[in-house]
């Protein structure tokens, strides 16, 4: 539901400011929703926001946040593999092994990067 609204609504005026509040929320499920809000947006993904949110939360130990980071990166990697590979390589040491593995899974399978 949130992802659909993020596509159809006023991104800069309403959606992005709201998601920027959510990524800082005390509730892990709200933070997770901010990370996943652009899932499956493909070429309409605001990559700068996606990567910023991943950077902001990559230190978290919460399983569902780590999984969400990997999921969001994996999905966007289907559309923009070069950007996701660059992000994964730049942040390999900071990302949890789960986030890295999930984020790179399709790219490794397609032979675009090594595990």
What pLDDT is recorded for position 15? 86
Q: Is the pTM of this model over 0.95?
A: no
What is the distance between the alpha carbons of residues 3 and 31, in angstroms, rounded to a whole number? 14
Tokens of 15: 């959606």
| Tens-place pLDDT, residues 82-102 | 999 999 999 999 999 999 999
| Tens-place pLDDT, residues 15-61 | 889 999 999 999 999 999 999 999 999 999 999 999 999 999 999 99
Number of helices (H) and strands (E), helices first, in the chain? 7, 0
Cβ-based burial of 20 (10 A; exposed 0-12, middle 13-18, buried ≥19): middle
What pLDDT is recorded for position 1? 47
């Amino acid at each position: 539901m949130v992802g659909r609204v993020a596509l159809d609504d006023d991104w800069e005026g309403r959606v992005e400011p709201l998601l920027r509040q959510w990524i800082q929320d005390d509730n892990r499920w709200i933070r997770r929703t901010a990370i996943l809000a652009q899932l499956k947006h493909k070429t309409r993904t605001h990559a700068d926001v996606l990567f910023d949110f991943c950077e902001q939360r990559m230190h978290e130990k919460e399983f569902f946040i780590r999984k969400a980071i990997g999921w969001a990166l994996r999905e966007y990697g289907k559309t923009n593999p070069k950007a996701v590979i660059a992000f994964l390589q730049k942040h390999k040491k900071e990302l949890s092994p789960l986030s890295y593995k999930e984020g790179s899974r399709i790219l490794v399978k397609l032979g675009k990067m090594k595990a």
